[in-house]
């Protein structure tokens, strides 16, 4: 429209176009965040359940024969034999307790931190026997014992596995909130 030689722009049309563009940008951003959040949440849930399953299996297998668990700890020659029996007897119960907390999603950050401490100790112990040239089965899932040789490949796989699990624990320490966790009921009580 022109008035006295000046043209005026229909302000309502411009505002609508801008609003449509802003709405589209917000919708696209929200969709991207939702997809990213979904995958991140799925990764944390998978990390929590994987860590719980591995710790539960390792602990339960060792609980079946605590004397053997103590002997396996003694083979590492890191602690005295008397202490090795104690460590071998207590460690499986700690693993199962952490597994139960992780499976339930209760005190997830603390349980993941406890698992991380164990995993760092396991990696250090395995690296220690590897560096000293000692050939033993790690005993991570029960059993354990002296091997005739060729333990280096097994040590590398054991360390790689424990580092992967340590990564899962680190993810949960950084962001412990996952689906299907009791933490959400405890930390976010509904009124």
- How far is Cα 114 from Cα 52, in angstroms, rounded to an integer? 12
Q: What is the pLDDT along the chain (191 residues), one digit of tens a residue?
A: 445 555 555 555 555 555 555 555 545 544 544 555 668 888 999 999 999 999 999 999 999 999 999 999 999 999 998 899 999 999 999 999 999 999 999 999 999 999 999 999 999 999 999 999 888 888 888 877 666 555 666 899 999 999 999 999 999 999 998 888 888 887 766 64
pTM of the model: 0.76
- How far is Cα 106 from Cα 100, in angstroms, rounded to an integer? 8
- Which two three-digit tokens encode residue 55? 């710790």
- Which two three-digit tokens encode residue 118? 């164990």
- How far is Cα 191 from Cα 176, in angstroms, rounded to an integer? 23
């Amino acid at each position: 429209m022109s008035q006295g030689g000046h043209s005026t722009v229909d302000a309502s049309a411009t505002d609508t176009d801008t609003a449509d563009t802003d709405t589209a940008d917000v919708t696209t951003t929200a969709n991207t965040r939702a997809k990213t959040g979904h995958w991140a949440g799925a990764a944390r849930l998978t990390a929590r359940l994987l860590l719980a399953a591995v710790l539960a299996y390792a602990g339960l297998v060792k609980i079946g024969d605590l004397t053997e668990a103590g002997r396996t700890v003694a083979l590492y020659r890191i602690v005295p034999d008397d202490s090795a029996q104690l460590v071998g007897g207590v460690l499986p119960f700690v693993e199962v307790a952490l597994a139960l907390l992780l499976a339930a999603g209760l005190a997830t950050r603390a349980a993941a931190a406890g698992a991380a401490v164990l995993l760092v100790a396991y990696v250090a112990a395995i690296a220690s026997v590897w560096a000293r040239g000692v050939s033993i089965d790690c005993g991570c899932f029960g059993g354990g014992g002296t091997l005739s040789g060729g333990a280096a490949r097994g040590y590398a796989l054991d360390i790689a596995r424990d580092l992967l699990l340590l990564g899962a624990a680190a993810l949960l320490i950084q962001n412990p909130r996952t689906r299907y966790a009791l933490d959400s009921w405890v930390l976010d009580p509904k009124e």
